[in-house]
Amino acid sequence: MLVEYDGAAFHGWQIQPDHPTVQEAIESALEVVLKTRPDVTGSGRTDAGVHARGQVAHFDAEQPLDAHRLRRSLNGLLPRAVRVHYLEETRPDFHARYDARGRRYHYYVSTVPTALGGHTRWELRPVPDFDMMNGAAVSLIGRHDFDAFCRVQSETHNRVCTVRHARWIPEPAAYPTPEIELWRFEIVADRFLHGMVRAIVGTLMEVGRGKRPPEDISRILDSGNRREAGPAAPARGLVLEHVLYDEPFRRP
Amino acid sequence: MLVEYDGAAFHGWQIQPDHPTVQEAIESALEVVLKTRPDVTGSGRTDAGVHARGQVAHFDAEQPLDAHRLRRSLNGLLPRAVRVHYLEETRPDFHARYDARGRRYHYYVSTVPTALGGHTRWELRPVPDFDMMNGAAVSLIGRHDFDAFCRVQSETHNRVCTVRHARWIPEPAAYPTPEIELWRFEIVADRFLHGMVRAIVGTLMEVGRGKRPPEDISRILDSGNRREAGPAAPARGLVLEHVLYDEPFRRP
C-alpha cells in the first residue's frame, strides 16, 4: 500500500505504547475489516511529526482480498490525517523495507512565517545563503559513513549510506512579494539513518548562515561524531516523498 | 499593507458582530500599537473560509509611523493565521479598493482526498474532465454581466465584470501515484461579485462531469439568473492571490 500522512497528528510511524502512531492506526483499521490484526511493515520509520506522501507498507493476508474494496474501507475507518492511496496484492515475498532500494525525502522551508502552509515548512530567520548550502551539500553525495548525522541512541550498526542527490531547489513564487521565498531540500539515498535528514538540514543551515565553512560537511562526516554536526531541524518540514523499488511494488 | 490569511479561522474579511474576521483582527492589533483604532479598508471582501495570500489593505495614520517596526508589532499581536508581509507609507490618496485595477483568484482542487494540504483544496469525486472545463471557461473571458454568478442577496447593482484570464492549470505531480492530480483554476478580472468565483467553479464542475454542455456558460451569462448556474464550490479551495494596481502600492 502507498500511504500519505500528516505527521503532526502522530508520534511517528512505529507503534509505541500510549501514543498514536501511523502503524497503529493502519493495523487497527485493518483489524476492523479483517477481524484479525496483521503486522503492517513500512519501508522505514518516520519520526514524530515527520510527514509522508509516499510511504510504502505491506502486510500478509490470510486469504485473498478485494483490494479496491479494502482500500475504500480503510480510508473510511482511518483518521483523516492518514490516506491509503493505493493498495494491491503483490508477490508473496515482497517486503516493503528489505526490497526498498532508495528513499526520497524533501525538507520544505520558507524565508518568512506564513499563514497558509506553515504546517509543513520550517520558517527560517535569518535567511540562509542557499548557494552556499548547495556548495556544502555536494560533499554529502556518494558512499559515506553517516555516523555523525545519526541519532546517538540509534541501535543501527551499519551506518554507511549512498547519497545520490542532495540539493536545495527554489519553488515557484507563490506570493506577490519577493520577501517570501519557498525552497526545498531534496535528498535521495539508498537508506537513511535515524534523524539523518534533520541533522543534515540543521547542519547545512549553519553553513548557510555563515556559522560554519562549507568544508565542515566533509570534516563532520570524517569525524563520525554526532556532536560535530548541527542541531536537528524541526520535524514539521520533512516529508518522505517516495520509496524506490527495483520493480514497481504493484503486481505485474 | 500586504496580508496573508488562512480563511478557515475567520468568518471572512469584513467585520461583523460576534464572529472573528480578518479586518477585526487587524484593527484590534493596530489599536494596541496606535492607542487609537483606525478603519482598515481591504481591496475587497472575502467570504467566510476563503483564504488570501495577497490581500491589500490601507488605513489612515494620524502621525508618521515607523512602518518596519509597526509590521513587526502587528505580526507579534495578530493570530498566527494572519500575517502582514509588507507595510509601507503610501501616497495620501491611495485607496486599496478604488485604486485596484484587477484581482487574481486561484481555486485549488485535488482528484483524491489527501492527508497533507486538504485544508486549502476541494477534493473532487468523481474526477471532472479538465479539458472540457477549459473549453467552457473560454466563454467567461471578456466583458459580461455576471448577474447569474452573483449571490442573490448581494447589494451590488453594477454587475459587469471584465474577465481577462480563466483557465484550469495542472500543478506539478507531487504524489508518487498518477491517481492523485492537483489542479488549480486561475481567474483574473477587473472586479469580482459576491460569491462569483465559487459559483463559476461549481458550474464548470458540472460541465466537467458531463451534467451540462460547455455552451451552458454563455447561456447562463445571458440568462442573468443565479438559479441557472451551478452550486457554489466550497470556500476552502479559494485563495485571493494578488491585487493589481496601476502603480505599485509601494511608496515611490
Query: What confidence tens digit (pLDDT) does each residue in B37-54 have?
Result: 999 999 999 999 999 999
pLDDT at A248: 66
Helices (H) and strands (E) in chain A, counts: 5, 10
End-to-end CA distance of chain A: 15
In a 13 Å sphere around the CA of B233, the CA atoms on its Cβ side amount to 28
- Contact A121/B at CB under 8 A: no
Residue A83 has its nearest CB partner, among B2, B86, B115, at B115
β-partners of residue A162 are: A143
- Contact A180/B at CB under 8 A: yes
- Contact B237/A at CB under 8 A: no
β-partners of residue A170 are: A183
DSSP string, B127-146: PP-HHHHHHHHGGG-EEEE-
Residue from A4, A86, A186 whose CB has the most chain B CBs within 10 Å, to mutate: A4
- Contact B236/A at CB under 8 A: no
Give Cα A130 to chain centroid, integer Å.
Answer: 21
Q: What is the pTM of this model?
A: 0.93
Residue B249: is its pLDDT beyond 70?
no
Q: Return d(Cα B102, Cα A198) in angstroms, integer.
A: 42
Residue A213: is its pLDDT beyond 50?
yes
Hey, are the CB atoms on A53 and B176 less than 8 Å from each other?
yes
Residue from B116, B123, B238 whose CB has the most chain A CBs within 10 Å, to mutate: B116
Are B244 and B164 in contact, with CB atoms under 8 Å apart?
Answer: no
> Degrees (nearest 5) of the Cα angle B129, B130, B132?
70
Hey, are the CB atoms on B116 and A113 less than 8 Å from each other?
no
Residue A196: is its pLDDT beyond 60?
yes
Closest among A190, A192, A196, A172 to A182, alpha carbons compared: A172
In a 13 Å sphere around the CA of B118, the CA atoms on its Cβ side amount to 17
Q: Which residue has the cell 477549459?
A: B134
- Contact A242/B at CB under 8 A: yes
Residue B33: strand, helix, or coil: helix
- Contact A22/B at CB under 8 A: no
Element (H, E) at A69: helix A67-77
Closest among B193, B199, B189, B144 to B163, alpha carbons compared: B189
- Contact A118/B at CB under 8 A: yes
Closest among B194, B197, B182 to B137, alpha carbons compared: B197
- Contact A2/B at CB under 8 A: yes
What's the average model confidence in pLDDT over B217-244? Answer: 95
Residue B250: is its pLDDT beyond 60?
no
Element (H, E) at A137: helix A130-137
Question: Could you give the ipTM of this predicted complex?
Answer: 0.88
Residues recorded for chain B: 252
Hey, are the CB atoms on A176 and B54 less than 8 Å from each other?
yes
Q: Return d(Cα B31, Cα B36) in angstroms, integer.
A: 5
Q: What does the block give as the cell for B159?
A: 454587475
Closest among B4, B2, B24, B29 to B13, alpha carbons compared: B24
A5 to chain B, minimum CA–CA distance in Å? 5
- Contact B241/A at CB under 8 A: yes
Exposure letters B231-242 (e unless 16+ CB within 10 A, then b): ebbbbbbbbbbb
Element (H, E) at B75: helix B67-77
Mean pLDDT, rounded, of chain A: 94
Q: Return d(Cα A222, Cα A211) in angstroms, integer.
A: 19
> Degrees (nearest 5) of the Cα angle B1, B4, B7?
130
Which residues touch B134 (CB under 8 Å, ≥6 apart)? B167, B168
- Give whole-number Cα distances, B119 to A38, B116, B122, in Å: 32, 8, 8
Q: Return d(Cα A238, Cα A105) in angstroms, integer.
A: 7
Q: Tell me the pLDDT tens digit for each residue of A148-194.
A: 999 887 778 899 999 999 999 999 989 988 889 999 999 999 999 99
Q: Tell me the pLDDT tens digit for each residue of A49-64.
A: 999 999 999 999 989 9
Contacts of A115 in chain B (CB under 8 A): 4-6, 51, 80-83
Hey, are the CB atoms on B4 and A175 less than 8 Å from each other?
yes
Hey, are the CB atoms on A83 and B112 less than 8 Å from each other?
yes
pLDDT at A4: 97
Q: Tell me the pLDDT tens digit for each residue of A75-107.
A: 999 999 999 999 999 999 999 999 999 999 999
Q: Which residue has the cell 479483517?
A: A34
pLDDT at B252: 40
Hey, are the CB atoms on B85 and A53 less than 8 Å from each other?
no
From its phi and psi, is residue B84 left (phi > 0), alpha (psi between -120 and 50) or beta? beta
Query: Known catalytic residue: A60?
Result: no
Closest among B72, B100, B98, B96 to B86, alpha carbons compared: B72
Question: Which of A47, A99, A147, A216 is flagged as catalytic?
Answer: A47
pLDDT band at B179 (very low <50, low <70, confident <90, very high): confident
- Contact B91/A at CB under 8 A: no
DSSP state of A127: P
Q: Return d(Cα B242, Cα B55) in angstroms, integer.
A: 7
Phi first, then psi: what are they for B34, rounded to 5°? -90, -10
Q: Tell me the pLDDT tens digit for each residue of A99-145.
A: 999 999 999 999 999 999 878 999 998 999 999 999 999 999 999 99
What's the average model confidence in pLDDT over B178-188? Answer: 95
pLDDT band at A252 (very low <50, low <70, confident <90, very high): very low
Phi first, then psi: what are they for A65, rounded to 5°? -130, 155
Question: Which of B6, B18, B47, B131 is flagged as catalytic?
Answer: B47
Q: Tell me the pLDDT tens digit for each residue of B2-26.
A: 999 999 999 999 999 999 999 999 9
Percent of chain B with pLDDT over 70: 98
Contacts of A175 in chain B (CB under 8 A): 4, 53-54, 85
Q: Tell me the pLDDT tens digit for each residue of B91-142.
A: 999 999 999 999 999 999 999 999 998 789 999 989 999 999 999 999 999 9
Residue from B2, B4, B55 whose CB has the most chain A CBs within 10 Å, to mutate: B4
Hey, are the CB atoms on A120 and B118 less than 8 Å from each other?
no
Contacts of A116 in chain B (CB under 8 A): 4-6, 51, 53, 120, 239
DSSP state of A163: E
Q: Return d(Cα B120, Cα B69) in angstroms, integer.
A: 31
**Cis peptide upstream of residue A126 (ω within 30 degrees of 0):** yes
Q: Return d(Cα A163, Cα A158) in angstroms, integer.
A: 15
Mean pLDDT, rounded, of chain B: 94
pLDDT at B135: 97
pLDDT at A118: 76
